[in-house]
Structure 1
Amino acid sequence: MIKSILFKNANISFSDEGKGRAVVFIHGFLENSTMWKNIIPALVANNRIITVDILGHGKSDCLGYVHSMELFAETIEAVLQHLKIRKYILVGHSLGGYISMALAKNNPLKIKGLCLLNSTSNADSEEVKIRRIRANKMAQNNFENLVKMSFSNLFSVESRTTFKDEIKLALQEALQTPIQGYIAANEGMRIRPNRNHILSENNFQKLIIVGEKDPVLDAETAKIEAKKTNSQLIILSGGHMSHIENKEELIKVLKVFLKGC
């Protein structure tokens, strides 16, 4: 059941189902909570699953023109306070992982485990920062083509054929993202800092999941990050969208991770 709260006069949409350990699923850029629809049924029997539509995505409103990771995190924390959840596990996909890192910075003692799914605690490279600036300029005039192009590039070459129908549905959801939501989130990602130390300095369970053929996040770089931050690393065979490309393997990995938190 979809619910909502007001945060600084912005509507924040979320869902809350199941009983047990609280697990917060945070979707990524150009996604919304529906991305978890094929993952949650396999986990909800033993867990309390909370999903949140982040600012400017899904059914949640925008809040200004820069959605920093800290601002995103504040909205997640507001939902958790509303639900009276004191300790929780975080699973963040891509941008959702960056938001999870901001939550971990502010609330390390509340977190039992943190999974960076196709995500990283590293900051953007200078090259990626430049690309984000260019994308935000393009979004103002050619948003649909920009989304179609960038979304397709998230999948491995093989997956673009194998999961053609699933990609089409996910793209339809992506195109519902308002331009302001796109620009505000992209700028927030551009300015986020490196947060390796948040992982290395805390004792909660840490898991990084990456795709071997991820066009966005390099698996070799993830190996270095995992070693530096004392995090477990799982490398799946697909690209950036493991919930589609490696669904069954992902569910198995998450079950083990959640049980260990």
Structure 2
Amino acid sequence: MSYNDKGHGQPIIFIHGFCESKEMWLAYEDALSPYYRILTPDLPGHGESMWMDEEITLEEVAVILGVWIDELALEKPIVIGHSLGGYVTLALAEIMGDELGGIGLFHSTAFADDQDKINTRNKTLDFVNKHGVEKFVKSFVPPLFQDNPDAELQEKMDYILKLAQKTSFPGLVAFTKAMRDRKDRSNVLSNFKGKKMMIAGQTDTAIKIGDSRQHEKLVDFYFELTGTGHMGMIEREAKCLEVIGKFMDRYVNEKLV
């Protein structure tokens, strides 16, 4: 499994989302590594991580990450996941429990897919099998961002699109199925003993804000980004770094001392 590892001290693991890779966290590595040890893995079949199986479950991904955490001897890591990365984070919390120092959901949810979302996943599978990865991501990535991006955001969107095109075909198919078939982990989120954060986008079309707000009572620190879609870590980078910093200062650092 390919990963970046920068800085020293309290480890924070950032897990990317569907059709993304560790490169999306480069600015976070630069900003946070003077204070923390920042680790950003590529999930199987994404970025530079190899694909080894035809099928995979989120539970199996969590086991892979758990072994990786043990191999690196990371103590009480904070795990923050975007979208699919949030689903993986909750699966990891289910098996590791209080071995994790805290968790964060970034435009993600503890709920399972409803029937409409399941139907969308199945349409994705049909489309990808017929047209391939490149054509799919060209239609998939732009709507994740807010409408009418300025020149700076458009440049970032183009970069994320290029990263998405590197996703392997079997990885894309397998993770679509894994997301479709995942179980509800709201009890995992509720019962997790470490500190918990959620960042949501008010105009997110992938994770509806109404669903996000149902998580507010389940976490210690909940924050909504106004005028922001599904890619808040890109659209509102400075604000997201500020929110993560507040979460670490208010909740995690004090608890871990």
Q: TM-score range by the shorter chain?
A: over 0.9
Which residue of the partner structure matches residue 47 of structure 1?
36
> Is residue 156–residue 215 contact of structure 1 (8 Å, CA) maintained in 2?
no
Give the CA deviation at 1:185: 0.7
1:216 to 197, 201, 206: 206
Which residue of the partner structure matches residue 14 of structure 2?
25
Segments of 5+ residues of structure 1 without an aligned counterpart are 1-11
Distance 1:59 1:230 in 2: 33
Distance 1:215 1:159 in 2: 16
Segments of 5+ residues of structure 2 without an aligned counterpart are 253-257
The alignment status of 1:63 with 2:39, answered yes or no, reads no
**TM-score normalised over the length of structure 1:** 0.92
**Higher share of residues assigned strand:** 1
Which residue of the partner structure matches residue 225 of structure 2?
236
Letter in 2 for 1:88: P
| CA distances 1:94-132 after superposition (whole Å, capped 9, x unpaired) | 100000000000011111111100111111111111111
Which residue of the partner structure matches residue 198 of structure 1?
188
> Is residue 110–residue 185 contact of structure 2 (8 Å, CA) maintained in 1?
yes
| CA distances 1:56-110 after superposition (whole Å, capped 9, x unpaired) | 1011111322221111112211221111113110110110000000000001111
Which residue of the partner structure matches residue 252 of structure 1?
242
Give the CA deviation at 1:160: 7.1
SS at 2:27 equivalent: coil
Q: Structure 1 pair 239/122, CA: closer, same or farther in 2 (3 Å)?
A: same
Distance 1:129 1:61 in 2: 27
The alignment status of 1:154 with 2:165, answered yes or no, reads no
The alignment status of 1:126 with 2:115, answered yes or no, reads yes
Give the CA deviation at 1:167: 0.4
Which residue of the partner structure matches residue 37 of structure 1?
26
Distance 1:109 1:39 in 2: 25
Residue correspondences, number: 249
**TM-score normalised over the length of structure 2:** 0.93
Letter in 1 for 2:240: L
Sequence identity, in percent? 29
Instruction: Tell me which moved more, 167-176 or 196-205.
Output: 196-205
Which residue of the partner structure matches residue 171 of structure 1?
161
> Is residue 215–residue 240 contact of structure 1 (8 Å, CA) maintained in 2?
yes
CA RMSD of superposed structures (Å): 1.4
> Is residue 56–residue 62 contact of structure 1 (8 Å, CA) maintained in 2?
yes
**Higher share of residues assigned helix:** 2
> Is residue 55–residue 67 contact of structure 1 (8 Å, CA) maintained in 2?
no
Distance 1:226 1:160 in 2: 31
